[in-house]
């Protein structure tokens, strides 16, 4: 019969026919058959249940097994024995793993069939041990729920005696590990249902054996009070709170708050995690326990914990008000936190930016529950505004939003405030002055704003996050040297190792500030970046020159890193020529690249070439009329001129100065369009070579003006392709050909010949309107690719021959005719190599003017790794457009490719550096910053070259002393950091002792947390950015943290 059944379920017969035959098989179960036939049938049905390919096979297995077990009970008892059950639980069944829910489901079905048999007692004893083992293995939610279902239906399987206490404790720990990574409603509902089954099992055990309750609660507190940063307990523990008798609150809270073994850090963690439980949808009485613990801590005057927890969690509690299911509990906790935190407006002002939007949202609901909530919430707001008067700019929008709701009278407000204050806190609480706190959860250190120094802070943080550059700087031996590099090394060391939340870079600022920068005035971060890179380069060259004369004296060495393969970036002709013979400076190794410009006379076909060094590329915005030109046609000089001119005070744009010519170029070649997926573009990094100031100059022959268009969003790939696109020099921009000895129509192309280790890109957003005589900022949103493949032209002949053929001109001559700077030369066979770069950092400018606003940066850790993936394209290999325009024979136009890498790269952590504040941020926030805040635009971008041999530093960490890949600090630096960290701890202790005196004597002066910059015109104050102008500052949650 088993063979017939097996053949039937595996056959392709119609389902109705198969069901009829299965019915006959079930009816035949009452017939007498041999023990071997029974065993074969039980084996087949077991296999169908556990390994069935579809629901029909599993259903047939259950039906037939139940029928045959009912009529042949003794045979099934022999089959479903303790050895078989034990093997299922420990080894699984054939291809089915022992942790599969199907195993527990099958065992539960088997127990139902032999409940009246004596052998079931042996199975219960086995299961009492095995379920404890399973729980200790931390099963997933679905398996844990199935196990709880089995134990609920068969309470005889629940461990007894001492095992019951251990089982409850382990079950609590398992709940602490139950996580749900999905955000879909269906999966979330299933997860909540699974957790509820487990918590209900615990409740049943607590009721049956009360001795297990207290050990279970002790285990809960041990989990939530753990300070182990590697494990974050699941919020599913909130499901247990509703099962704890409320009568135990007083005893338990008193025991916790007075236990000397419970450290403040552990209590803070526990309270914070209990507040997180407010988000659990089905939990009851969470707010009761949280408020009880807050009151208990106030009773024993542990105000430091209360202050820390309130400031950490007040915004989270407020955000829970948006969810109707948990709104009542969240409001109760929020009211207690705000009304008891009466020594400072700091907590209340953290939620002020979000109040109006919440009120408007609830008003639009029109639901009775929302209106009732608004009445209570309005009363709370009036109490807080009454208590912390003196901030009309902050409170006026709130009062306007709640003006139609009932307002409590003054007596009621005073009564509420008097009843809610922390007991005996008037002389022992912290003052309203800023409190010292430890480093943020990111592990990164902020930089204190010294007065409109956000331009420096954002650049320094971006350079610090350039992993390979930072490691090189930290590995330099600079003992006895007082150079700018020494001060940068000192700053990097403190950023990496100080315990302070933010560090004051006063020494580095004074040493690195350009002489023409007015102190405490806003400056251009790209100009500052160029200045310090040039200073660092010049200093190292000078020190190396002196070391040749005085070998015994101090010199910059880098013993920890092997020579970089990056191309150099000289800053002058002499410097470049010297660098050929001497070692490259660190700046040349890290940021140096080369740009080759070709200019071909379209009359005589003669070609001139010029090679220039760069540390960054300044990218102008494409005029709307030339957007199509960038993608498929030549750009004429008229198309690249518009009503707005890029600001440039120090040097001509590389697009204007890099004019070279190639004799092999012909007019019949075609240009390749961009290969860009606009749905897969993301933020880029730094880019700037120029200063922006009050002076305006039109670069000769190739100014790249911008007039914003609304057709489609630009990307960095568009701007870079525009930068490298061929250009026809015609009309007023005609080229003086030495061979023709006259002005002629010509074609100009630019090619990157040496790729830097770090590619810095500056988006030229500040432009001058010659018609209106005003400076404007281009606010166009620019999408930024996470991975940028930069086309680099490689010479196929020897580099020596190339160097001999190419004339190198390094000096910038503003206004000089291009023909005087270019020298005819031979040509070489070249190929296009796509060099992949990954986005490392973005400096964002918030504001509408170069003289005002605010800078902050996004960054992540990126280091070179992986195998090379470069592509080499022979002439015309990139051709993909129609034959139009004028190109030379053996060369194709350059196309920049921006694309996404796999999700593992995208998921890497990003950080937001906003002066003293450092927070985690999502990559989506990096992408959407301009769309959310129109005045906040990417300005300087930093890309890291992939597959760089010079970046592989793993071999240098063999000594085991490296921390997070960074080299060990020299003794001088380590001593300085240790000394400062000790000073910081002393400051913390002194601050705690003086809080009572400050609260009693100091006037309550408040400045929003994180508001670092000063407020004169042109500063980093609120008016400069795209956020609220209510005075809440740039560091508030509503401003930049999403």
Active-site positions?
Answer: 454, 854
Q: Report the DSSP beta bridge partners of residue 836.
A: 789
C-alpha closest to that of 952 among 865, 867, 835, 861: 865
Residue-wise DSSP of 134-170: HHHT---HHHHHHHHHHHHH-GGGS--THHHHHHHHH
- Which residue has tokens 């053996």? 890
In 800-835, which positions are buried (b, 16+ CB within 10 angstroms) versus exposed (e)? Answer: eebeeebebbbeeeeeeebbebbbebebbebbbbbb
Helix (H) or strand (E) holding 800: helix 799-805
Q: Are 73 and 35 in contact (CB under 8 A)?
A: no
Quote the CA–CA distance of 925 and 933 in Å, as a whole number: 11
Question: Which residue stretches of 892-1019 are H helix?
Answer: 903-906, 923-932, 971-1001
Cα atoms found within 13 Å of the Cα of residue 519, Cβ hemisphere only: 6
Strand, helix or coil for residue 125: helix
Quote the CA–CA distance of 719 and 896 in Å, as a whole number: 9
Residues whose CB falls within 8 Å of the CB of residue 321, separated by 6 or more in sequence, listed in order? 327, 330, 331, 334, 358, 373, 377
Instruction: Kindly report the number of other CB atoms within 10 A of residue 859's CB atom.
Output: 27
Indicate the DSSP class of residue 326: T
Token pair listed for 132: 């404890």
Please report, for residues 63, 172, 541, 806, 851, the alpha-carbon distance to residue 290 in angstroms, rounded to integers and kept in the order given: 51, 19, 63, 75, 49
Quote the CA–CA distance of 180 and 999 in Å, as a whole number: 45
Question: Beta strand 774-777 with 645-646: parallel, antiparallel or unpaired?
Answer: unpaired
C-alpha closest to that of 842 among 918, 786, 794: 786
C-alpha closest to that of 595 among 703, 720, 743: 720
Cα atoms found within 13 Å of the Cα of residue 667, Cβ hemisphere only: 11
Sign of CA dihedral 880, 882, 885, 888: positive
512-518 contacts at long range (C-beta below 8 A, 24 or more positions apart)? 512/456, 512/484, 512/487, 512/488, 513/456
- Determine the length of the chain: 1042
Strand, helix or coil for residue 127: helix
C-alpha closest to that of 432 among 398, 387, 396: 387
Give the burial class of 1015: count Cβ atoms within 10 A of its Cβ; 0-12 exposed, 13-18 middle, 19 or more buried: middle
77-82 contacts at long range (C-beta below 8 A, 24 or more positions apart)? 77/114, 77/117, 77/119, 78/35, 79/38, 79/39, 79/42, 79/43, 80/42, 80/110, 80/113, 80/114, 81/119, 81/122, 82/119, 82/122, 82/123, 82/126
Q: Are 950 and 588 in contact (CB under 8 A)?
A: no
The helix/strand count (H/E) of the chain reads as: 37, 25
Instruction: Kindly report the number of other CB atoms within 10 A of residue 656's CB atom.
Output: 23
Strand, helix or coil for residue 910: strand
Indicate the DSSP class of residue 619: E
- Which residue has tokens 């010049």? 538
């Amino acid at each position: 019969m088993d063979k017939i059944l097996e053949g039937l379920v595996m056959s392709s017969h119609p389902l109705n026919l198969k069901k009829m035959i299965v019915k006959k098989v079930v009816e035949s179960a009452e017939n007498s058959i041999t023990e071997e036939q029974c065993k074969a049938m039980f084996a087949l049905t077991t296999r169908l249940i556990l390994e069935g390919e579809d629901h029909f096979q599993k259903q047939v297995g259950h039906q037939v097994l139940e029928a045959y077990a009912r009529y042949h009970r003794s045979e099934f008892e022999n089959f479903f024995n303790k050895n078989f059950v034990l093997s299922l639980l420990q080894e699984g069944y054939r291809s089915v793993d022992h942790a599969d829910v199907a195993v527990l489901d099958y065992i539960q079905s088997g127990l139902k069939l032999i409940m009246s048999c004596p052998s079931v007692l042996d199975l219960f004893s086995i299961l009492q041990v095995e379920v404890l083992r399973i729980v200790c293995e931390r099963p997933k939610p679905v398996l844990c729920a199935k196990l709880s279902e089995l134990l609920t239906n068969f309470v005889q399987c629940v461990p007894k005696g001492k095992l019951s206490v251990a089982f409850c404790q382990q079950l609590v720990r398992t709940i602490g590990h139950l996580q749900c990574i999905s955000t879909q409603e269906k999966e979330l509902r299933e997860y909540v249902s699974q957790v509820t089954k487990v918590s209900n099992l615990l409740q049943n055990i607590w009721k049956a054996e009360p001795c297990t309750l207290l050990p279970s609660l002790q285990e809960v507190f041990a989990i939530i009070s753990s300070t182990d940063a590697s494990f974050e307990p699941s919020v599913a523990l909130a499901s247990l709170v509703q099962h704890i008798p409320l009568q135990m609150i007083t005893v338990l809270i008193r025991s916790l708050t007075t236990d000397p073994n419970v450290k403040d850090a552990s209590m803070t963690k526990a309270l914070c995690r209990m507040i997180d439980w407010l988000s659990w949808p089905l939990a009851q009485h969470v707010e009761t326990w949280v408020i009880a613990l807050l009151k208990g801590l106030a009773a024993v005057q542990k105000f430091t914990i209360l202050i820390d927890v309130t400031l950490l969690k007040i915004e989270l509690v407020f955000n829970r008000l948006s969810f109707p299911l948990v709104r009542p509990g969240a409001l109760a906790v929020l009211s207690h936190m705000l009304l008891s935190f009466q020594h400072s407006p700091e907590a209340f002002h953290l939620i002020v930016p979000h109040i109006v939007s919440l009120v408007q949202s609830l008003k639009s609901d029109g639901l009775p529950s929302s209106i009732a909530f608004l009445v209570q919430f309005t009363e709370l707001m009036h109490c807080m505004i009454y208590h912390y008067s003196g901030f009309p700019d902050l409170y006026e929008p709130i009062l306007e939003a709640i003006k139609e709701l009932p307002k409590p009278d003054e007596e009621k407000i005073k009564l509420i405030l008097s009843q809610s204050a922390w007991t005996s806190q008037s002389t022992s609480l912290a003052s309203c002055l800023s409190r010292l706190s430890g480093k943020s959860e990111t592990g990164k250190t902020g930089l204190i704003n010294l007065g409109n120094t956000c331009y420096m802070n954002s650049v320094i943080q971006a350079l610090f996050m350039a992993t390979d550059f930072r490691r090189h700087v930290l590995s330099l031996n600079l003992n006895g040297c007082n150079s700018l590099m020494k001060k940068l090394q000192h700053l990097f060391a403190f950023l990496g190792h100080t315990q302070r939340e933010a560090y004051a870079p006063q020494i580095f600022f004074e040493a690195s500030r350009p002489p023409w920068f007015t102190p405490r005035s806003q400056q251009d971060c790209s100009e500052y970046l160029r200045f310090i890179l040039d200073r660092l380069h010049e200093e190292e060259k000078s020190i190396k020159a002196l070391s040749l004369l005085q070998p015994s004296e101090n010199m910059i060495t880098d013993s920890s890193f092997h020579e970089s393969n990056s191309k150099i970036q000289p800053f002058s002709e002499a410097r470049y020529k010297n660098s050929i013979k001497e070692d490259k400076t660190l700046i040349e190794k890290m940021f140096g690249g080369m740009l080759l410009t070709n200019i071909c006379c379209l009359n005589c076909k003669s070609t001139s070439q010029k090679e220039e060094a760069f540390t960054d590329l300044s990218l102008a915005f494409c005029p709307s009329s030339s957007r199509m030109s960038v993608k498929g046609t030549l750009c004429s000089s008229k198309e690249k001129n518009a009503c707005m001119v890029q600001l440039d005070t120090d040097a001509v744009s590389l697009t204007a100065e890099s004019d070279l010519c190639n004799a092999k170029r012909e007019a019949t070649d075609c240009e390749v369009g961009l290969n860009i997926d606009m749905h897969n573009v993301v933020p880029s990094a730094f880019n700037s070579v120029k200063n922006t100031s009050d002076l305006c100059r039109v670069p000769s022959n190739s100014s790249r003006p911008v007039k914003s268009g609304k057709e489609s969003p630009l990307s960095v790939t568009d701007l870079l392709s525009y930068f490298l696109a061929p250009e026809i020099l015609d009309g007023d921009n005609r080229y003086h050909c030495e061979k023709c000895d006259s002005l002629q129509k010509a074609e100009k192309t630019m090619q990157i010949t040496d790729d830097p280790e770090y590619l810095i890109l500056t988006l030229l957003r500040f432009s001058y309107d010659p018609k209106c005589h005003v400076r404007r900022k281009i606010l166009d949103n620019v999408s930024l690719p996470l991975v940028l493949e930069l086309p680099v032209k490689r010479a196929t002949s020897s580099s020596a021959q190339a160097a001999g053929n190419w004339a190198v001109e390094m000096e910038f001559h503003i206004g000089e005719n291009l023909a005087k700077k270019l020298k005819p030369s031979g040509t070489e066979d070249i190929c296009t190599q796509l060099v992949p770069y990954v986005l490392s950092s973005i400096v964002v400018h918030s504001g509408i003017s170069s003289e005002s606003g605010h800078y902050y940066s996004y960054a992540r850790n990126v280091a070179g790794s992986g195998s090379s993936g470069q592509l080499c394209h022979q002439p015309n290999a990139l051709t993909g457009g129609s034959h139009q325009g004028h190109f030379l024979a053996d060369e194709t136009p350059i196309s920049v490719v921006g694309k996404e890498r796999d999700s593992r790269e995208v998921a890497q952590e990003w950080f937001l550096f906003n002066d003293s504040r450092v927070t985690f941020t999502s990559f989506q926030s990096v992408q959407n910053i301009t769309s959310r805040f129109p005045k906040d635009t990417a300005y300087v971008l930093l890309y890291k070259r992939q597959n760089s041999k010079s970046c592989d530093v793993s071999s240098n960490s063999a000594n085991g002393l490296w921390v997070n890949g960074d080299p060990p600090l020299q003794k001088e630096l380590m001593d300085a950091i240790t000394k400062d960290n000790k000073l910081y701890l002393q400051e913390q202790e002194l601050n705690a002792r003086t809080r009572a005196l400050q609260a009693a004597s100091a006037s309550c002066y408040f400045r929003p947390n994180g508001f670092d910059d000063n407020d004169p015109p042109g500063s980093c104050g609120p008016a400069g950015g795209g956020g609220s102008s209510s005075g809440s500052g740039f560091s508030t949650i509503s401003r930049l943290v999403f």
